[in-house]
Amino acid sequence: MKISLLQQMYKDVLVGIPLARESHHYASLLNLCVEQSPERDESCNRMHLPSTNGGIRSHQDTDMSDAVVPTTDDISNSFANMNSSFCPREVMLLQLTLIKMMVAKAESQEIEFDTRQKYCEIFVLLLKEAKIDSKLICLLGSYDQLLSHMASKSLASLVYFQLKEENALNVTWLTFSLKTLSGFPVNTQVAECLWTLTTIIEEILKDKVLPKAGILKKLLAPLDAVLEGFYNSILFHHFVSHHYTSPYSEAANNLISFIDLLEALLASRIELEIALRCQRVLFLKVSYVLNLISSSIHYLIKKKFIMLLKKCVLCKSREDAKSGSLFLQNPSLYEDMLALGNAVLRDVNLNWLNRIPLSEKASYFGGSEAAPGDDTQGGSDQTVLRALSLVVLKALEFKFQNSATEAEIKGDFQSSMSQLLMFWRSHLKYFPQSHPVVHHCEWLSLIFIEQDDDMWEAAKALLLIYLKFDRLRHDAADLLSQKEEETWNFLMHANGYNPHCIFLFFLEKIAFDSTVLLDFLISSETCFLEYLVRYLKLIRKDWHQFVDVCNHFDSKHGTFQSISSVKPPHQEKQSCMTDENLQNACCAPEPQTPISLAASHSCLVFTAERGDNEVAESNQSNSLICTDSTSLLGSLQSLVNYDSSEDSELESDGKGCLINTTQVPLNNEGETRIRETGCSYTADEQNTLKSEVLPLKQKGSNISSCLTCVASSDNIIPLRIMLYKSTKCLEELQKAISRLQRRNLFPYNPSALLKLLSHIEKISKNMNPQ
C-alpha cells in the first residue's frame, strides 16, 4: 500500500466520515513498523527504525546493525520499504498523529456512535494483537525529539483510553514506569516516562464526564511508593548540582520533566478529594525544593520550582484557575499547607532569601540578550521576586491561622518580615522609575503593582495577619494602655502591614481612579472582592484609625522623603530607619492646629542637600505624597470605558490632574524639590476642600496656582487631602457599581458590597457635614 491510504484515512477521521473498510485494515495501517533487537531488554523493549535516509535510531541502536524486522502484515512492511519521498519517520509521525486524533474523536459526543465504536475496535486490535503499547514505549527513547514526543502523547492517549473505557490500567505501560522510576539514577532515561504520566493525569483532569477521583486513584496507587522514592532520589540522595547547570543536559531535562509532573500532581490534589503520598510529598518534604532553589542549578529550574511553590500556597492548580482557601475545608490539605509554610519560614529566618540570586537579564524573543543599541537595562526578575514574596507572605498567613496566642507568632513574624523587607530593599534599585522608600507599608504596592492578582493575594494575606493580631491582642487584654497602643502602631508600620497605609499607597499609585477598582471587582482573576469586603468592614470598625493614617499622609510624607533623600536605598545600613525615627514618622500624634511650613520644612516640602547627580536622580523619582503615577496608569488603564453609558455624567466630575514640579531655594539650604499634584474640582467641591489650611511664607516662588495644593505665599494648603480623595474614590466606585447593577450588567450580586460602601460614605459625611 502507498502513503495515500494513510493520508485518505487522516482526511476521513479529520472530518468525521465513517471508515468504510473493516477494522483490521485500519489497524494494519496504524501498526508501527519498528525494528527490534532479538536480545532486547524486555522491560524497555528497545527498538529502532530501519536504517534509511531520514530513519531515526534509539539511544541503544549502535550495536543493533543485525536487527531483524518483526513479523507484521504486508501493509506495515511496505512502510519500511518505501522509496517514495515519504521516509519511515514521516510515515510514523502520521500514524502517531492519527492514533491521538482517533482517541480524541472516540471520546467526543459530537461524533456518531457507530463511528466511535469503529475507532474503539481499531484500538482493541492495536493493543491486543499488534502490541502497539510496547512499540510506543520503544519510541520514547528515540534521538528524534519530535518522534519521542509524539510517541509519548499517543501512548498517554491509549493508556487513558483503556482507563476510561475498560476501567483497566495498561500493564505494559505500568511495568515500564515502575522499572524506569525505581531504576533511577542507574537508569537516567526517565524524562519520557515522566512526560507520559504527566499527560495522562492532565487528560483525566480535563475530562468533564469521567469520575476523576476513582480513575486517578487507580492510576496513581500502584505508582505511589515508587514516585515518593523517586522524589527523594532526584531531589536529595543523588542530587549533584553541577549536573544541572545547563538546561540542555539530560539531568536538567529529567528534573524539568519531574517539575511538570509535580504540577500535575498538585492540580490533582487540589481539584480532587484524594491524598496519596505522591501527591503530598511536595508539601511534606518541601525542604528539598528550598535547598535546590538556593543551590547552583540553572536559573530556569529555580524559576520553575519557585512558580510551583507559588501555586502551592495559592491552592491554584493551573494558571487559568482561581486561587482559593480550599485547604480550610480539607483537613489533610490544611495540614500539608502548615507543613509547607513552617518549612518556608524556617529557611527564611536562616537568610534563605538572600541566597537566591535573581536573574539580572530580561528575556527577549530569540534569546536572553538585548538587541544591539537597546538601552534597556537588565534588572531583577520581577516575576520571581513577586512569587518569592507571595510564598513568604502566604506562609505567614498559614502560621497565623493555626496560632492561638500572640506569643506563638510574634517573634517569627517580625523576623520573617524583616528578612522580606531586606530582600525587597536589595532589589528595589532594579525597579524602573523606583524612588527611595522609607515607609515600609509602601513596599507592597511597589513590588506587586504590575501583577494585580498577586498584589491582592499579598494584600489579603497581610490584612488577615493584621486582623488575627488585633483579635489576639484584645483577647489577651480587654483594655490596652496608651503605651501598648503606641507599640502596636509602631510595629504595624515597622513591619509594613498596616492595612490603611497599604490601601492608601495603592490608591496613590492608581491616581485614585475608581474605574481601576471596578475592573478588579469585575475580574474573576483576582481576590479583590474578598479583600475589599474585609477591608471596608475594618474601616467601619476603626474609622478613627483610617482618618489618622490619612492625616499622617498629608503631614508626614515630607519627612519620609527627606530621610530617604539623605540615606540612599542602595546602602542597606543607611536606608534602614531607626526605631525612633520610624515611630516619629509614622506614629506621632496628628497636630490639630495649623502649623507654618516655614517652621517645619518636612511637612510637604522635601528637603535635602544633594549634588548635581543626586538632583538629577531625584528628578526621576516618584513623590510619596502626590499622585505622580502617570506612568503606572498605562498598565492600569480601565478594561471598560464606563463613562460611555448614557448616565455617565453622574460619574464624571470634571476632575483633571496637573503635576507641577519646581525647584525653589529654601533658606539657602541647597535645592529643594517640590512635587505637587493639582486637581481642579467643580464649584460645589471647593467648599468640601476648604478645611484646615496652612499659610506658606516663602518668597521667590513662581508656581502655578491650584485649588488643592499650592506652594506660594498667597495660597493655601488643606490638610485632609488624602481623606477626601480616598473617600471620594470609594464614593465614585459605589455609584459605578449601582449604575451597572440597575442595568443588570454587574457579573454578580453586589448588594453586600454596596451596603458597606454606603455605610462608609455616611460615616465620612457625618464627620464632615457640608
Q: Is the pLDDT of residue 734 over 60?
A: yes
Question: At residue 244, what is the residue type?
Answer: Y
- Report d(CA 72, CA 631) in Å as an integer: 68
Q: Is the pLDDT of residue 763 over 70?
A: yes
Q: Looking at the domain assignment, is residue 488 inside a domain? A: no
Within this chain, do residues 206 and 128 fall inside the same structural domain, yes or no? no
Side-chain half-sphere of 117: how many Cα atoms within 13 Å? 4
Of the pLDDT bands very low, low, confident and very high (cuts 50, 70, 90), residue 557 is low
**In this predicted model, which residue has the larger pLDDT, 278 or 247?**
278
Average pLDDT of the chain to the nearest whole number: 74
Within this chain, do residues 300 and 221 fall inside the same structural domain, yes or no? yes
Q: Is the pLDDT of residue 356 over 70?
A: yes
256-268 confidence digits (pLDDT tens): 999 999 999 999 9
Highest mean pLDDT among 190-199, 308-317, 318-327, 428-437: 190-199
Q: CB under 8 Å to 494, separation ≥6 — which residues?
A: 440, 579, 582, 586
Give backbone dihedrals phi and psi of 91, rounded to 5 degrees, phi first. Answer: -65, -45
Q: Is the dihedral of CA 567, 549, 672, 674 positive or negative?
A: positive
Q: What was the pLDDT predicted at 326?
A: 55
**In this predicted model, which residue has the larger pLDDT, 32 or 570?**
32
**In this predicted model, which residue has the larger pLDDT, 593 or 303?**
303
Least confident of 108-122, 381-395, 477-491, 671-685: 671-685
* CB distance 617 to 608 below 8 Å: no
* CB distance 697 to 597 below 8 Å: yes
404-443 confidence digits (pLDDT tens): 777 777 778 889 999 999 998 888 765 555 556 668 898 8
Of the pLDDT bands very low, low, confident and very high (cuts 50, 70, 90), residue 769 is low
* CB distance 698 to 712 below 8 Å: yes
| Cell numbers describing residue 102 | 482517533
Of the pLDDT bands very low, low, confident and very high (cuts 50, 70, 90), residue 655 is very low
Within this chain, do residues 12 and 161 fall inside the same structural domain, yes or no? yes
**Burial class of residue 405 (count of CB atoms within 10 Å of its CB; 0-12, 13-18, 19+):** exposed
Q: Which domain holds residue 25?
A: 1-33+86-167
Within this chain, do residues 146 and 174 fall inside the same structural domain, yes or no? no
**Mean pLDDT in residue range 27-46:** 62
Side-chain half-sphere of 621: how many Cα atoms within 13 Å? 24
Within this chain, do residues 191 and 314 fall inside the same structural domain, yes or no? yes
Q: Is the dihedral of CA 435, 441, 447, 448 positive or negative?
A: negative
624-638 confidence digits (pLDDT tens): 333 334 433 443 444
- Report d(CA 765, CA 438) in Å as an integer: 32
Within this chain, do residues 257 and 224 fall inside the same structural domain, yes or no? yes
483-516 confidence digits (pLDDT tens): 777 887 888 888 889 999 999 999 999 999 999 9
Q: Is the pLDDT of residue 647 over 50?
A: no
Of the pLDDT bands very low, low, confident and very high (cuts 50, 70, 90), residue 56 is very low
**Burial class of residue 64 (count of CB atoms within 10 Å of its CB; 0-12, 13-18, 19+):** buried
Q: How do 47-48 and 656-665 pair as beta strands?
A: unpaired
**Mean pLDDT in residue range 113-124:** 92
Within this chain, do residues 244 and 269 fall inside the same structural domain, yes or no? yes
Q: Which residues pair with 364 in a beta bridge?
A: 367
DSSP state of 344: H
| Cell numbers describing residue 257 | 520533566
Q: What was the pLDDT predicted at 432?
A: 52
61-72 confidence digits (pLDDT tens): 333 333 333 333
H or E element in which residue 194 lies = helix 191-206
Q: End-to-end alpha-carbon separation of the chain, Å? A: 92
Q: What was the pLDDT predicted at 13?
A: 92
- Report d(CA 708, CA 364) in Å as an integer: 44
* CB distance 499 to 548 below 8 Å: no
Within this chain, do residues 243 and 129 fall inside the same structural domain, yes or no? no
| Cell numbers describing residue 123 | 484500538
202-246 confidence digits (pLDDT tens): 999 988 877 888 999 999 999 999 999 999 999 987 677 777 878
Of the pLDDT bands very low, low, confident and very high (cuts 50, 70, 90), residue 560 is very low
Question: Total structural domains in the chain?
Answer: 3
**Of 124, 149, 167, at which residue does a domain stop?**
167
Within this chain, do residues 190 and 290 fall inside the same structural domain, yes or no? yes
- Report d(CA 479, CA 271) in Å as an integer: 45
- Report d(CA 113, CA 101) in Å as an integer: 16
Q: Looking at the domain assignment, is residue 610 inside a domain? A: no
Q: Note the helical H segments in 480-623.
A: 482-494, 499-509, 514-522, 528-541, 543-566, 572-575, 579-587, 612-618
| Cell numbers describing residue 654 | 470634571
**In this predicted model, which residue has the larger pLDDT, 552 or 770?**
552
* CB distance 374 to 438 below 8 Å: no
**Of 323, 347, 373, at which residue does a domain stop?**
323
**Burial class of residue 726 (count of CB atoms within 10 Å of its CB; 0-12, 13-18, 19+):** buried
| Cell numbers describing residue 227 | 514516585
Within this chain, do residues 173 and 119 fall inside the same structural domain, yes or no? no
Q: Looking at the domain assignment, is residue 411 inside a domain? A: no
Q: Looking at the domain assignment, is residue 525 inside a domain? A: yes
**Mean pLDDT in residue range 600-627:** 36
- Report d(CA 74, CA 52) in Å as an integer: 19
Within this chain, do residues 199 and 151 fall inside the same structural domain, yes or no? no
Of the pLDDT bands very low, low, confident and very high (cuts 50, 70, 90), residue 666 is very low
Q: Which residues pair with 674 in a beta bridge?
A: 662
Highest mean pLDDT among 447-451, 536-540, 620-624: 536-540
Within this chain, do residues 200 and 258 fall inside the same structural domain, yes or no? yes
- Report d(CA 232, CA 184) in Å as an integer: 11
- Report d(CA 261, CA 194) in Å as an integer: 7
562-578 confidence digits (pLDDT tens): 333 333 333 433 333 33
- Report d(CA 415, CA 436) in Å as an integer: 23
Q: What was the pLDDT predicted at 374?
A: 47
- Report d(CA 683, CA 690) in Å as an integer: 12
| Cell numbers describing residue 490 | 509602631
pTM, 2 dp: 0.74
Q: What was the pLDDT predicted at 689?
A: 39
